[in-house]
Amino acid sequence: MAAEIKPVPVLATSATAARSNQKKPILLHKIEGYEETVNQAVILPGEDGVVAVCDDRSVRVWLKRDSGQFWPSICHYMPSGATSVCFTKQVWRVFVGQENGTISEFVLAEDYNSLTHKRDYLSHHARVTQVHHASTPSWILSVGRDKWFQYYCAVSGKRLGGHICPAWAYCLEFDFASRHVFIGDASGQITMLKLDPQPDLATSNTTTEQQAVGVQQITVFKGHSGPVRSLAWDAGHKFLFSGSEDKGIIAWDIGGQQGTAYELQGHKNKVMAVCFSPIGRKLVSGGEDAMLWIWNMKAKRIETSEWTESSTCQRCSRPFFWNLRGMFDQRQLGLRQHHCRQCGRAVCDDCSPHRSVLPAIGYEYEVRVCVECNKSLTEADRVSLAVCQEAKHSILWLHLDEERARLLTLGHDRIMKIWDVSSLLKNDA
């Protein structure tokens, strides 16, 4: 069946319309035609092209033709389902993770018309969920559903080390300067490792007896109540961003070394993908609510208040329903406990009747606040620190080409969309 490609033309608009679209992503193209799930895709840097991998075992390179349509210049089939992809233009390498746990390395021709197989890495014995190539020092890092993090030397092909996680590993981020790697898993935690290659101790083959060597576990970050599906790294300011199925995003201040973390709440469903642009310090997130959020991380943010626990309302002192002694002493029925999102106090419904957005704390939708906090909030406190755009498909993957300010969204509908986000990534104040 021939692929049906539907380019979306960019129409000339009036000055008024242009101003209204200035702070919104602009849809440029749609690429569709797949019959099975497209797992990941990356934009070719500086080009109108995309590399996509699919459960139908295909690796396809899509290029924009003179007609304005995208057509596949390469369609290569793997031995098993293609589940993850990474492209490094400096060395023209494409790395493809597979359902069977193998990572295949290819050389992509500079005219984008051929893929030449170079080597296979037997990294995992289950689905590879993400693969990352560090061109310096030429390492291939990967995680999979076998719970393992592995890394290999791309020059010699030797295993350098690995670490087993407590649950399926979904995503990873690597900081070249410090050689730290961050791994998000299905238990909701993020493991921070320090890489110390030991090729003489690391075995070459993936077996159940494989040893966890070549890594040092530094710490574990716990803050999500659902699986961590995506990570993004701000190398300049040492911030780690994590998106989770619990609908939340957490910004972890790694460089501050004080355990500071900021929550970002805007999505109404699972957050499946996050990516970061150092230009203007913008974080892009997408999820199953079919919404794109662009968060301004230059803005001053406040840590979410910890919720206090009490047997009585901390404003009016009336007892909550489990406080039998208090109900008897005050001769009244117990009340349901709520929490003010601004101060974190335990309050009853009568003492927290107001709803407000709290952008500095990360709440871009209205949440419960108590009477005192509502009085203290000003209009400036309610100014949004993020931009929201309907993507019109449930997002499972994002990729950002910072050079050309192009964002790729990949949906459960097996459609890839390319957006112009140049107005959003401006380095403005």
Domain of residue 59, CATH code? 2.130.10.10
Which two structure tokens, joined as six digits, stand for 287? 């999820």
Say which residue the tokens 């924009």 belong to: 64
Domain assignment of residue 311, yes or no: no
Residue 3 lies in a domain: no
On whether residue 314 sits in a domain, the answer given is no
Question: Could you tell me if 377 and 359 are in contact, meaning their C-beta atoms sit under 8 angstroms apart?
Answer: no
Dihedral sign, Cα of residue 51, residue 53, residue 56, residue 59? positive
What does DSSP say about strands 338-339 and 291-296: parallel, antiparallel, or unpaired?
unpaired
Q: Do residues 93 and 114 lie in contact, with contact meaning Cβ atoms separated by under 8 Å?
A: no
Q: Would you say 29 and 418 are in contact if contact means Cβ atoms under 8 Å apart? A: yes
Same-domain status, 43 and 115: yes
Report in angstroms the alpha-carbon separations of 186 from 124, 133, 262, 269, 423. 17, 23, 21, 17, 35
Residues 263 and 369 in one domain: no
Domain holding 345: CATH number? 3.30.40.10
For 410, other C-beta atoms within 10 Å of its C-beta total 27
Tell me whether residue 180 is in a domain.
yes
- Domain boundaries, position 334: 324-381
Pair 82, 129: CB distance under 8 Å: no
CA distance 241 to 221: 12
CB–CB of 93/75 below 8 Å?
Answer: no
Note whether 406 and 43 are within 8 A (CB). Answer: yes
Q: What share of the chain is helix, strand, coil (3-state, %, to 5)?
A: 5, 45, 45
**Same-domain pairing of 342 and 407:** no
pLDDT for res 276: 96
199 and 285 fall within a common domain: yes
- 158 and 247 in a single domain? The answer is yes
pLDDT tens across the length of the chain (429 residues) = 344 444 444 433 333 333 344 478 999 999 998 999 999 999 999 899 999 999 999 999 999 998 889 999 999 999 999 999 999 999 999 999 999 999 999 999 999 999 999 999 999 999 999 999 998 889 999 999 999 999 999 999 999 999 999 999 999 999 988 999 999 999 999 999 999 887 666 555 444 445 566 899 999 999 999 999 999 999 999 999 999 999 999 999 998 777 789 999 999 999 999 999 998 899 999 999 999 999 999 999 999 888 998 989 989 988 888 878 877 788 888 788 899 999 999 999 999 999 999 999 999 999 999 999 999 999 999 999 999 999 999 999 999 999 899 999 999 999 999 999 998 887 654
What DSSP letter does each residue of 254-300 carry, written as one string? Answer: TTTTS--EEEEE--SS-EEEEEEETTTTEEEEEETTSEEEEEETTS-
Return the SS3 of 326.
Answer: helix
Residues 241/245/247/251 CA torsion (nearest 10 deg): -10
| Residue tagged 């005050």 (tokens) | 330
Q: Give strand ranges (E) for 188-279.
A: 189-195, 215-222, 228-234, 239-244, 248-253, 261-265, 271-277
> 372: part of which helix (H) or strand (E)?
helix 371-376
**Same domain (yes/no): 277, 375:** no
Q: Which residue has the tokens 């730290």?
A: 180
What is the reported pLDDT for 17? Answer: 35
366 within domain boundaries: yes
The two three-digit tokens of residue 389, written as one number: 């755009």
Of the candidates 55, 64, 79, 66, the residue with the CA atom closest to the CA atom of residue 112: 64
Same domain, 285 and 412: yes
Task: Choose among 295, 239, 296: nearest CA to 266.
Answer: 295
Distances from the Cα of 234 to the Cα of 90, 277, 308, angstroms: 21, 8, 32
Based on the domain organization, do 376 and 391 belong to the same domain? no
Note the pLDDT of residue 4. Answer: 44
**Pair (212, 331) in one structural domain:** no
Q: What is the pTM of this model?
A: 0.88
Residue 147 shares a structural domain with residue 234: yes
β-sheet bridge partners, residue 401: 406
44 and 118 assigned to the same domain: yes
Report the C-alpha gap between 243 and 230 in whole angstroms: 5
Retrieve residue 62's tokens.
């899509």
Same domain, yes or no: 297 and 411: yes
| C-alpha gyration radius of the chain | 24
Report if residue 145 sits inside a domain.
Answer: yes
